[in-house]
């Protein structure tokens, strides 16, 4: 296998752990609507789509009020609780030597970019595309294609999209890119459901894989 032409990454549960803020935002919203609160496990199982796609089925005509409650709580705490996943900083340093990098997330674009800036990672990424930045959000191809347009790289199997869920693998295939699973998708139905083109169990494995391609 040759080195990738570009590597696009998902954000939450691929590069960072920001689930505390998402859980806090969801539970502030659920409490305001008299709904049961979610555990962290509920959040990991239940959060896939962007807010504009996921909130209307839950909150109906009041979804915009729910949105405002959610984002107010997330903005209050997300930078305080944000943590890189183990080994990610070192992996990104290696990856940035091998290929142009970008991020495509279903987290709202301004929140995504604020988090990348907070971690000092902006220099790694030529594109940071979040929910609402493209015409559609994942699993549509649009946000991946927008990121690649900003990187001036055409879509194709030489481009990797690295994510932790089946939805990420769907988005990669929709854009004609290589679907690379990070982890084992145990929170999302497991490997058979995700059906990736390639898999790396953790950041160290991904880093080693990239280094082997670089030396090939």
Mean pLDDT of 174-198: 92
Which positions ≥6 away from 93 have C-beta within 8 Å? 124
Closest Cα to residue 63, out of 54, 53, 55?
55
> Alpha-carbon distance 61 to 172, whole Å?
32
> Alpha-carbon distance 152 to 59, whole Å?
39
pLDDT tens column, 11-54: 999 999 999 999 999 999 999 999 999 999 999 888 888 999 99
Statement: 19-81 belongs to CATH 1.10.150: yes
* pLDDT score recorded for residue 214: 62
> Alpha-carbon distance 168 to 186, whole Å?
14
What is the CA 48 to chain-centroid distance, rounded?
9
Domain boundaries, the chain: 6-17+83-215, 19-81
* pLDDT score recorded for residue 188: 81
* pLDDT score recorded for residue 213: 87
Check for a shared fold between 6-17+83-215 and 19-81. no
Of residues 38 and 215, more confidently modeled: 38
Q: How many CB atoms lie within 10 A of CB 180?
A: 25
* pLDDT score recorded for residue 114: 97
Please give the CATH topology (third level) of the domain spanning 6-17+83-215. Rossmann fold (3.40.50)
* pLDDT score recorded for residue 215: 62
What average pLDDT is seen over the chain?
A: 95
Of residues 194 and 178, more confidently modeled: 178
pLDDT of residue 136 exceeding 90, the answer is yes
pLDDT of residue 63 exceeding 60, the answer is yes
* pLDDT score recorded for residue 216: 52
pLDDT tens column, 139-170: 999 999 999 999 999 999 999 999 999 999 99
pLDDT of residue 91 exceeding 60, the answer is yes
Length of the chain, please?
Answer: 216
Scanning the structure block, which residue is given the tokens 């690295």?
162
């Amino acid at each position: 296998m040759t080195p990738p032409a570009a590597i696009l990454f998902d954000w939450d549960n691929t590069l960072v752990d920001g689930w505390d803020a998402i859980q806090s935002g969801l539970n502030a919203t659920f409490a305001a609507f008299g709904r049961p609160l979610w555990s962290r496990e509920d959040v990991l199982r239940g959060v896939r789509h962007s807010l504009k796609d996921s909130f209307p089925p839950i909150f109906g005509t009041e979804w915009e009020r729910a949105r405002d409650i959610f984002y107010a709580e997330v903005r209050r705490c997300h930078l305080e609780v944000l943590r890189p996943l183990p080994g990610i900083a070192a992996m990104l340093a290696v990856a940035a030597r091998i290929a142009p990098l970008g991020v495509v997330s279903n987290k709202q674009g301004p929140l995504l970019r604020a988090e990348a800036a907070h971690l000092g990672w902006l220099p790694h990424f030529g594109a940071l595309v979040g929910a609402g930045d493209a015409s559609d959000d994942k699993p549509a191809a649009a946000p991946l294609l927008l990121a690649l347009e900003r990187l001036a790289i055409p879509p194709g199997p030489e481009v990797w999209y690295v994510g932790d869920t089946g939805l990420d693998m769907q988005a990669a295939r929709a854009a004609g890119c290589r679907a690379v699973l990070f982890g084992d998708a145990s929170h999302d139905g497991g490997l058979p459901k995700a059906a990736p083109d390639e898999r790396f169990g953790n950041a160290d494995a991904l880093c080693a894989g990239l280094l082997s391609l670089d030396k090939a």
